[in-house]
Amino acid sequence: MPQLINNIQVFSLYEVTKSIEKTLASRYGSPFWVKAEMIRLNHYKHSGHCYPDLVEKKEGRVIAQIRATLWADNYERINRRFLKITKEPLKDGITIMFSARINYHPVHGLSLHILDIDPSFTLGEMEREKQEAIAKLQQEGVFYLNKEMPFPLLPQRIAVISVETSKGYADFISVIENNPWEYRFFHMLFPSLLQGEDAVPSIIKQLERIRKVKSHFDVVTIIRGGGGDVGLSCYNNYYLAKEVATFPLPVLTGIGHSTNETVVEMVANQNNITPTKLAEFLIQSFHNLSVPLKEKQEKITEIAGQLIHDAQTSINRQSEYLAHLSRNILENNHNRLTHLVSTQNIHLKNFLSAQRKELEQIENKISILDPANVLKRGYSMTFLNNKSLTEATTVKEGDQITTRLFKGEIISIVQSKKEK
């Protein structure tokens, strides 16, 4: 009962809390269904109990929040159904529809006691969020931006968004580094959370880091191991999908084995079902260039060999032709020279014969004019001081002159002379 203090009716705290408990119990006596986002499951393994934190958001802002209880026996039953239907256990960061009772305790306060959770609603809610994100990206005209971006000829420099300890990341690195063709890749890890409500801001943060150094990379890969649809729900997030769709480098995804394609996979430039398949796709890109290059190299080698062979054959033919032509020219010139020599010899003989006849004629003329022959015909030659006399004016009376006859000489003394 309330006390009267200074004419004021005062209730104890216990009375107030018990009144609240009684009022809520009478007002909310039956279980009811609630929709909320479970941001934390808060499962305690030693007891098996869970103490979920539930919120409702509007435009990204929390407008309502309450804590809940999920006892171990109910958790095990609900978790088995989640594993069967969604292929994932109950986890943080999912939207759930659950049956609950209001629980109010004078010490622990207000909470919701969860009796059941509908896993089908969680899948449906994820699908609704997915379709809303798709529609919004299409309305903004960015849905196909990354997918239509030209893929690099050789995607050799790879920015990898993943968890260093994840099996998917290990498989990816093993395949690209141990490929039998010894193709060489440069890869750099940008570590990020890959599931849960913190995955979206974590992946976006790494994409922003890569954007600042985009000139150092050819492609971006988002790599995650296998998982069901619930674990992939963050990849239907509108903000993450838009960041991928508008990214300035081709984004490649390998985020699990699910056949239900997420929005991020839809807007990515290339999507592969697993990290291993993604690594094989990159290796195939090298094949797509290296195989035709090798074929062209072999073709060039073949053509070059044929050209060299044809050129050698042509050179040999030209050499044979030149040798034959040279022999013909030499032979023709030799024949011409032989003919010229023969002709010149004939001309020389004729010339010498004519010269000989001419000389004989000259000799005959000279022989006729020979002083001996002249003297023989009765002529004589007169000398004065051993010089022949041709004029009377050159002698005077008393000079001794010599008269040479054909046979012998007459020495005379000049007694008189006649100049004419």
Distance, CA of 47 to CA of 45 (rounded, Å): 6
Distance, CA of 128 to CA of 137 (rounded, Å): 14
CA distances, 37 to each of 53, 134, 288 (Å): 8, 21, 47
Q: What's the alpha-carbon Rg for the chain, to the nearest Å?
A: 64
Query: What is the reported pLDDT for 123?
Result: 80
Judged by DSSP in three states, 59 sits in: coil
Highest average pLDDT, of 35-44, 224-233, 258-267, 390-399, comes from 35-44
Tokens found for residue 145: 């931006």
Instruction: Report residue 41 CA to chain centroid gap.
Output: 49
Closest alpha carbon to 161 in 123, 106, 199, 121: 199
Q: Which residues pair with 413 in a beta bridge?
A: 400
Query: What is the reported pLDDT for 53?
Result: 95
Distance, CA of 399 to CA of 200 (rounded, Å): 161
pLDDT band at 419 (very low <50, low <70, confident <90, very high): confident
Closest alpha carbon to 239 in 267, 204, 212: 204
What mean pLDDT do residues 317-337 have?
88
* 84 residue type, one letter: K
Which DSSP state fits 150? P
Of 155-164, 198-207, 216-225, 293-302, the poorest mean pLDDT is in: 293-302
**CB neighbour list of residue 249: distance below 8 Å, 6 or more residues apart:** 149, 159, 210, 214, 217, 218, 219, 220
Which DSSP state fits 28? S
Closest alpha carbon to 181 in 98, 318, 72, 290: 290
- Any idea of the CA torsion for 128, 131, 133, 139, to the nearest 10 degrees? -140
Domains of the chain, first to last? 3-117 (2.40.50.140), 136-287 (3.40.50.2300), 373-413 (no CATH)
Distance, CA of 321 to CA of 53 (rounded, Å): 100
- Asked whether residue 359 carries a pLDDT value surpassing 90, the answer given is no
What mean pLDDT do residues 167-185 have?
93
Pairing of strands 61-69, 32-40: unpaired
Query: What is the reported pLDDT for 296?
Result: 82
Query: What is the reported pLDDT for 398?
Result: 87
Residue scoring higher pLDDT (220 or 349): 220
Q: How many helices (H) and strands (E) does the chain have?
A: 9, 16
Contact between 176 and 187 under an 8 Å Cβ cutoff? The reply is yes
Which DSSP state fits 392? G
- Any idea of the CA torsion for 225, 228, 231, 234, to the nearest 10 degrees? 100
Q: Which H, E and C letters describe 68-136, residue by residue?
A: EEECHHHHHHHHHHHHHHHCCCCCCCEEEEEEEEEEEECCCEEEEEEEEECHHHHHHHHHHHHHHHHHH
Contact between 70 and 101 under an 8 Å Cβ cutoff? The reply is no
Query: What is the reported pLDDT for 416?
Result: 86
Of 177-181, 212-216, 277-281, 358-362, the poorest mean pLDDT is in: 358-362
Distance, CA of 259 to CA of 276 (rounded, Å): 16
* 121 residue type, one letter: F
The pTM of the full predicted model, rounded to 2 decimals, is 0.61
Distance, CA of 420 to CA of 383 (rounded, Å): 19
Highest average pLDDT, of 15-19, 67-71, 399-403, comes from 67-71
* Residue 412 φ/ψ, nearest 5 degrees: -135, 160
- Asked whether residue 227 carries a pLDDT value surpassing 60, the answer given is no
